[in-house]
Structure 1
Amino acid sequence: MAQDVASGGLVVGVDGSAAALAALRWSAAKARLLHTHVLAVHAWLPSGYLRAPYARVLERPTPDQDRARAAATLEENVAQLLRTHPDADVVSLLREGPAAAVLLRHAQDALFLALGRKPRTDVTQPALGPVARACVRLAACPVVTVPEPPPGAEESGLPWLRDDWAGSLERA
């Protein structure tokens, strides 16, 4: 797990969502096939900047609390990945800054950037969120969006997340 985070690999945006976890699992399976590592990136911003200046000070988390919450989110997603893919070669990276900018910076030399995609519930809205749209538009590498599994689906319920599917590619 001690790869140089600046070189190659597969970069995955992690935000604590089921869709991000699906992207992380998909990328771990692909990394095994490609003999590379996964760089799980979580970007965070101090939430105090997003609050109204007249909000009660006691209700504003400190930047240290925001950073700790972000670190816990990243750690939990990586732990969930390792429960189903214990041999995954994954490096965690926590960075302060806007999500799209952080992901694009770390994906410059990546084989691809993987992002989770939430189900589209309103056809009048864009299929991708603002971070994914910025990454698709500006990334120097291919961007893959992995759909969130449907409610009630088993953890590896998507065909490309099942270990037997990845194994069949290795045998081919």
Structure 2
Amino acid sequence: MNANHLIVVGVDGSDGGRRALEWAVREAAGSGCAVQAVTAWSWVAIEYGPSPDEERNRATALLDREIAAVMTAVGGHHTIAAEVLEGRPADVLTAAAQAADLLVLGSHGHGRVRHTMLGSVSESCVRKAPCPVVVIPAPAGRSAPATPPVPRQTAAPA
């Protein structure tokens, strides 16, 4: 990939979204690609809820915070284009990736039950995206077992 190429990244304010953006910025720096961070938002009409403008502004503020945090983490000398689009996340991301060479998403590491009930944006994007999709996994647990394993005793030959 080079400067004429584009990496689109889904950013949703989660740790997974931030890991995806960090990975994409580092990948782009090594290959000269442009990075476009995309946040999806939607509005549900409820009597005392936020207006569509307030929801869009929240999404914009979230994306600005995430970009600033990643710029600090990776050195701050990269350019990240920001785009806030209305719609379902998988639809927004796959549409944004139409001109991209790569779509990068973060895994939330949800269990099978939650995945079955809620669905998966990354799974939908993998099926619908017009380009390769990279899913940055959640970090593996780093905690050590509470008790050390007990070595198995075997009988010595008689």
1:9 to 3, 6, 9: 6
Q: CA separation in 1, counterparts of 2:25 and 2:122? A: 20
Q: State the TM-score, normalizing by the size of structure 2.
A: 0.78
Mapped contact 1:36–1:89 kept (Cα < 8 A) = no
CA drift at 1:138: 1.1
> Corresponding residue for 1:138?
128
4+ residue stretches of structure 1 with deviation over 2 A?
A: 120-126, 148-152
The unaligned stretches of length 5 or more in structure 2 are: 143-158
For 2:19, the equivalent position in structure 1 comes to: 22
Q: 1:80 to 1:150 in 2, by over 3 A?
A: farther
> Which residue in the other structure is 2:49 paired with?
60
Retained in 2: the 8 A contact 1:44–1:95?
yes
Q: Quick check: which has more Rg, 1 or 2?
A: 2
What's the counterpart of residue 137 of structure 2? 147
The separation in 2 between residues aligned to 1:124 and 1:130, in whole angstroms, is: 9
Residue 83 to residue 32, structure 1, CA distance change in 2 (3 Å) = same
Deviations 1:6-45 (A, max 9, x none): x731000010000000000000000011101110000111
Residue 105 (structure 2) pairs with residue 115 (structure 1): yes
Tell me if structure 2 keeps the 8 A contact 1:22–1:149: no
Q: CA deviation digits over 1:134-161, x for unaligned, max 9?
A: 1100111000100234678xxxxxxxxx
- Give aligned pairs, total: 139
Q: Is the 8 A contact 1:39 1:90 kept in 2?
A: yes
Consecutive unaligned residues of structure 1, counting only runs of 5 or more, are: 52-56, 153-172
TM-score (norm 1): 0.72
Please report the RMSD computed on the Cα atoms of aligned residues, expressed in angstroms.
2.4
Q: Which residue of 1 aligns with 2:151?
A: none
Q: How far apart, CA to CA, are the structure 1 residues paired with 2:107 and 2:7?
A: 17
CA contact (8 A) 1:19 1:149 kept: no
Residue identity matched to 2:49:
R
1:38 corresponds to 2:35: yes
1:81 aligns with 2:81: no
Q: Is the 8 A contact 1:74 1:92 kept in 2?
A: yes
Pair 1:47 & 2:44 matched: yes
Question: CA separation of 1:98/1:125 partners in 2, compared to 1, >3 Å: closer, same or farther?
Answer: closer
Aligned to 2:156: none
Same amino acid, percent of matched pairs: 36
2-structure distance, mates of 1:83, 1:9: 22
Deviation at 1:123, TM superposition (A): 6.6
